[in-house]
A and B are shown apart, each in its own frame.
Chain A
């Protein structure tokens, strides 16, 4: 930590982590409902749909709070100045957290806009917009006052503004279902394969500069190339969601071709990270942070790149669209691309925010958290994938009715849920580890002989 105002990041991380914990518990309950018959009396009070709305909105909220915290940590170091209005940042956190709680409680009582992932009712949408405006204002004023622009900041601010603008498109009621989904994807797809990628690439670049000590010029040059490829494939690649919603046929071509290219920028990110790690000028300490960095990049590539590619071509997607195949891809991709990235950032920032010398924290417990979580999500995604392939074959290809085709899938959903238990355990260990982070005991601290960490 080089600036006092960076400490705003910590409460953001704490709230994000607690929401993450709640998200995975609800996920386990969702998976359970696929293989256990829940009695009508419970279904009437707490249906699958409510739990799903909570599970997905918690994901979005904790990732965004993580990004925002990361921004408040990153911007002072990049600009060399403090955040313009530290108190406003705290007000913003309180506002967004309360809005989130209101939304979750509202869902329980059926207060919803009823569109998947964008269930938050309109009055709460406006509170989110106010929170986002506070955030953008605070960050923008800080950046413009400092007037020391780097590619990392540019990508970050660009991504955040893009993200906020797209949110607006998700607010109104659309009369036509096809038009509704058309713009729904402007929020969902252009977030995760556009704005989020900008934020993530910028955060990754910052992490690489801080952790490896590789020259900023090199990292930033590849950041431009990565972002160019991400946006080139990602923007027109939105078309892979337009195959079957009542849009013209050319989307089969545009969506198919552009999304076939989508793995390349992620692959480039893997290669860049690998190269920077190889050319590091700093010791690989603490090891856990590096495990997170490399693990995240690899699972991002497998989950988003490969699992996405597997069902993105129209010829395949005709049978897999809206099946558990999508679920498999979604879980692995979100975990690798955004959950692990946020956690990597927390592991960089939290020890420094806590004033642990050289950021070398006690790793015990953290490794168990990482492996439980990662192996759990990988196993879960593979089980979802088997369920999805079965569903595509039995329901879509053979033409069995939905519930008949679901019967053999129940086993695989139980296997997914068993892995979900590992995930929940891993997430709880990780939350506990991050929130009680201590300096490394002297024995391992002695290994730190090389140049000390930059911040």
Chain B
């Protein structure tokens, strides 16, 4: 190869790649509004982003998969944990993670900071990013719904979940609300006995939680619900 040819390789390679990159950048910008729902990106959300940065959350947690790998990804934290659980973690991490082998530093957040960070995480959870991360993939959640609907006919526990309106606060599959953690998430973290105990007296196991107690159910019914939710966890997994 001559020096002249080598110079051609340099300029052609660099410029062709640069032109492609810049053209796609312009096009990407024109699509961000739709993909990230900028109509919902109001000042509260932006204030949440500022608070999130001020407390350097991103050097322990990843968000959209970027940042520190020391703590769970926050892209879909809102649809996984729900609003109440997020607030509890932000207010008193030393209580929420008292039993954890990894701690979260106390942030001493103000009430408005907690409000805006929660709003920010809600906005982030709706970014359309090809269904990443896989552990919170909505395709997966949809399959959970199908399983529950299939089980409801056979399982009195599924009927109890419906009867007690658990989904007025919790998500299950693509149904339910995002106030408490989604039931699949609880199922992967806790066994049936723990869940039954929790239903009897939530304050004992999670002080400050907004979850009501289910003393009006029999111990046997609470155990059935526990088994149902624990089974949701075991049934997860597999590809997208």
Q: Point out residues on A near B: beta carbons under 8 Å.
A: 33-34, 37-40, 43-44, 47-50, 52-53, 110, 112-116, 119, 173, 175-179, 181-182, 184, 217, 220-222, 224-225, 227-229, 231-236, 238-239, 242-252, 254, 258, 318-319, 321-324, 326-327, 395-404, 406-407, 410
Contacts and interface: CB of A to CB of B under 8 A. Distances in A.
Contact of A322 (B9, B133, B188, B236): B133
B134 interface: yes
> Binding site of A, secondary structure by majority: helix, strand, loop or mixed?
helix
Given A114-B54, A254-B20, A399-B236, 15 more contacts: A53-B56, A112-B53, A112-B54, A177-B49, A177-B63, A221-B2, A224-B9, A224-B10, A231-B10, A232-B12, A239-B21, A245-B66, A258-B17, A399-B140, A402-B135
A39 B94 CA distance: 10
Interface centre among A110, A245, A395 (most CB of B within 10 A): A245
Contacts of B41: 175-176
A238 B68 contact: no
Nearest to B46: A175
A116 B59 contact: yes
A234 B16 CA distance: 12
Contacts of B208: none
Interface stretch (B30-38, B162-170, B217-225): B30-38
Interface stretch (B102-110, B146-154, B172-180, B192-200): B102-110
A60 to B, nearest CB: 14
B124 A397 contact: no
A228 B56 contact: no
24 contacts: A33-B70, A39-B103, A40-B103, A114-B56, A115-B58, A116-B59, A173-B50, A175-B46, A179-B29, A228-B12, A236-B21, A238-B21, A246-B64, A247-B28, A247-B32, A247-B35, A318-B130, A321-B132, A322-B67, A396-B133, A396-B135, A397-B237, A403-B72, A404-B188
B56 A231 contact: no
Contacts of B18: 231, 235
A114 B50 CA distance: 9
Interface in B4-50: 6-7, 9-14, 16-18, 20-21, 24-25, 27-29, 31-32, 35-36, 38, 41, 46, 49-50
Contact of A324 (B31, B53, B69, B189): B69
Nearest to A232: B13
B127 interface: yes
A110 B64 contact: no
A260 B240 CA distance: 24
Chain B interface residue bracket vs A: 35 or more
A396 B75 CA distance: 13
A403 B189 CA distance: 9
Nearest to A238: B21
A198 to B, nearest CB: 10
B100 interface: yes
Nearest to B124: A177
B69 A323 contact: yes
Contacts of A116: 58-59, 66-68
B66 A322 contact: yes
A228 B13 contact: yes
Given A225-B1, A322-B133, A48 B14 contact: no
B58 A236 contact: no
A247 B103 CA distance: 33
Contacts of A220: 3
A52 B94 CA distance: 21
B191 interface: no
B17 A236 contact: yes
Contacts of A47: 56, 60, 105
Nearest to B97: A40
B73 interface: yes
A289 B35 CA distance: 51
A244 B64 contact: yes
B161 interface: no
B17 A231 contact: yes
A184 B67 CA distance: 11
A114 B117 CA distance: 14
Contacts of B9: 224-225, 228-229
Contacts of B105: 43-44, 47, 49
A42 to B, nearest CB: 9
Contact of A231 (B13, B62, B70, B132): B13
Interface in B192-240: 236-240
A118 to B, nearest CB: 10
B176 to A, nearest CB: 18
Given A247-B28, A401-B189, A402-B71, A49 B49 contact: no
Contact of B56 (A38, A112, A243, A395): A112
A69 B236 CA distance: 55
A38 B60 CA distance: 14
B128 A246 contact: yes
Contacts of B58: 49, 114-116
B160 interface: no
